[in-house]
Amino acid sequence: MTEPTLPPAAKSEQLLAPRSQLVGTVAALVGWIVVIVPIIATAALVFILVMNPDTSLANIGKIGLIFLGAVLLFCMIAAPHLVGQAVIHRERAMWLAALWTGIPTVAVIIFLLVLWIRSN
Protein backbone atom coordinates (compact mmCIF):
# COMPACT_ATOMS: atom_id res chain seq x y z
CA MET A 1 0.00 0.00 0.00
CA THR A 2 1.18 3.44 -0.74
CA GLU A 3 0.70 6.35 1.57
CA PRO A 4 -1.62 9.07 0.33
CA THR A 5 0.27 12.12 -0.80
CA LEU A 6 -0.58 15.36 0.86
CA PRO A 7 -1.46 18.23 -1.43
CA PRO A 8 1.11 21.01 -1.42
CA ALA A 9 0.34 23.70 1.13
CA ALA A 10 -1.04 26.92 -0.23
CA LYS A 11 1.39 29.81 -0.26
CA SER A 12 -0.60 31.70 2.38
CA GLU A 13 -0.54 28.70 4.72
CA GLN A 14 3.23 28.32 4.74
CA LEU A 15 4.78 29.61 7.95
CA LEU A 16 7.74 31.90 7.74
CA ALA A 17 10.64 31.44 10.09
CA PRO A 18 10.42 33.84 13.04
CA ARG A 19 12.79 36.77 13.17
CA SER A 20 15.12 37.33 16.09
CA GLN A 21 13.81 38.61 19.39
CA LEU A 22 16.07 41.65 19.08
CA VAL A 23 14.36 42.87 15.90
CA GLY A 24 10.93 42.68 17.54
CA THR A 25 12.20 44.39 20.68
CA VAL A 26 13.67 47.25 18.65
CA ALA A 27 10.37 47.63 16.75
CA ALA A 28 8.43 47.72 20.04
CA LEU A 29 10.86 50.24 21.57
CA VAL A 30 10.53 52.53 18.55
CA GLY A 31 6.76 52.25 18.92
CA TRP A 32 6.98 53.16 22.60
CA ILE A 33 9.16 56.17 21.80
CA VAL A 34 6.51 57.34 19.34
CA VAL A 35 3.49 56.87 21.61
CA ILE A 36 4.72 57.78 25.09
CA VAL A 37 4.02 61.52 24.80
CA PRO A 38 0.61 61.06 23.10
CA ILE A 39 -0.41 58.61 25.86
CA ILE A 40 0.39 61.17 28.54
CA ALA A 41 -1.24 64.01 26.59
CA THR A 42 -4.40 62.02 25.89
CA ALA A 43 -4.75 60.95 29.52
CA ALA A 44 -4.27 64.55 30.68
CA LEU A 45 -6.72 65.90 28.07
CA VAL A 46 -9.42 63.40 29.01
CA PHE A 47 -8.88 64.11 32.71
CA ILE A 48 -9.11 67.87 32.18
CA LEU A 49 -12.25 67.61 30.06
CA VAL A 50 -13.99 65.20 32.43
CA MET A 51 -13.11 67.11 35.60
CA ASN A 52 -14.34 70.46 34.23
CA PRO A 53 -16.20 72.00 37.19
CA ASP A 54 -18.60 73.96 34.96
CA THR A 55 -20.66 70.89 34.06
CA SER A 56 -21.94 67.83 35.87
CA LEU A 57 -19.82 64.69 35.94
CA ALA A 58 -22.81 62.46 35.25
CA ASN A 59 -23.81 63.59 31.76
CA ILE A 60 -23.75 61.31 28.75
CA GLY A 61 -21.02 63.27 26.96
CA LYS A 62 -18.52 62.88 29.78
CA ILE A 63 -19.33 59.19 30.21
CA GLY A 64 -18.78 58.70 26.46
CA LEU A 65 -15.53 60.64 26.67
CA ILE A 66 -14.32 58.45 29.54
CA PHE A 67 -15.13 55.29 27.56
CA LEU A 68 -13.56 56.61 24.32
CA GLY A 69 -10.48 57.79 26.19
CA ALA A 70 -10.05 54.39 27.83
CA VAL A 71 -10.36 52.57 24.49
CA LEU A 72 -7.89 54.91 22.78
CA LEU A 73 -5.41 54.65 25.64
CA PHE A 74 -5.66 50.85 25.50
CA CYS A 75 -4.95 50.94 21.75
CA MET A 76 -1.94 53.20 22.25
CA ILE A 77 -0.57 50.95 25.01
CA ALA A 78 -1.13 47.73 23.04
CA ALA A 79 0.06 48.89 19.61
CA PRO A 80 3.85 48.91 20.22
CA HIS A 81 3.81 45.44 21.77
CA LEU A 82 1.65 44.00 19.00
CA VAL A 83 3.88 45.51 16.31
CA GLY A 84 6.92 43.98 17.98
CA GLN A 85 5.25 40.57 18.13
CA ALA A 86 4.10 40.85 14.51
CA VAL A 87 7.65 41.67 13.41
CA ILE A 88 8.98 38.62 15.24
CA HIS A 89 6.37 36.03 14.27
CA ARG A 90 5.34 37.30 10.81
CA GLU A 91 1.78 36.00 11.08
CA ARG A 92 -1.14 37.65 9.40
CA ALA A 93 -3.27 37.60 12.55
CA MET A 94 -0.56 39.42 14.48
CA TRP A 95 -0.32 42.09 11.79
CA LEU A 96 -4.11 42.50 11.83
CA ALA A 97 -4.07 42.98 15.60
CA ALA A 98 -1.29 45.54 15.25
CA LEU A 99 -3.29 47.28 12.52
CA TRP A 100 -6.50 47.35 14.58
CA THR A 101 -4.70 49.05 17.44
CA GLY A 102 -2.40 51.11 15.23
CA ILE A 103 -5.14 52.93 13.30
CA PRO A 104 -6.69 54.56 16.42
CA THR A 105 -3.19 55.28 17.70
CA VAL A 106 -2.27 57.15 14.51
CA ALA A 107 -5.62 58.98 14.63
CA VAL A 108 -4.94 60.18 18.18
CA ILE A 109 -1.42 61.29 17.28
CA ILE A 110 -2.75 63.25 14.28
CA PHE A 111 -5.51 64.77 16.43
CA LEU A 112 -3.02 65.89 19.07
CA LEU A 113 -0.68 67.33 16.42
CA VAL A 114 -3.53 69.29 14.84
CA LEU A 115 -4.65 70.50 18.28
CA TRP A 116 -1.09 71.56 19.11
CA ILE A 117 -0.55 73.34 15.76
CA ARG A 118 -3.91 75.08 16.02
CA SER A 119 -3.11 76.35 19.53
CA ASN A 120 0.13 77.99 18.38
Q: Could you tell me the pTM of the whole model?
A: 0.79
What pLDDT sits at residue 7? 61
Burial 95-110 (b: 16+ CB within 10 A, else e): bebbeebbebbeebbe
So what's the pLDDT on residue 20? 86
Higher pLDDT, 32 or 11: 32
d(C-alpha 26, C-alpha 15), whole Å: 22
Phi-psi label, residue 30: left if phi above 0, alpha if psi -120 to 50, beta otherwise: alpha
Phi-psi region of 77 (alpha: psi -120 to 50; beta: other; left: phi over 0): alpha
Tens-digit pLDDT profile for residues 94-119: 999 999 999 999 999 999 999 999 99
Q: What is the tens place of the pLDDT at every residue in 31-86?
A: 999 999 999 999 999 999 999 888 777 889 899 999 999 999 999 999 999 999 99
10 versus 57: the higher-pLDDT residue is: 57
Question: What are the boundaries of each domain within the chain?
Answer: 19-119
pLDDT at 3 over 70: no
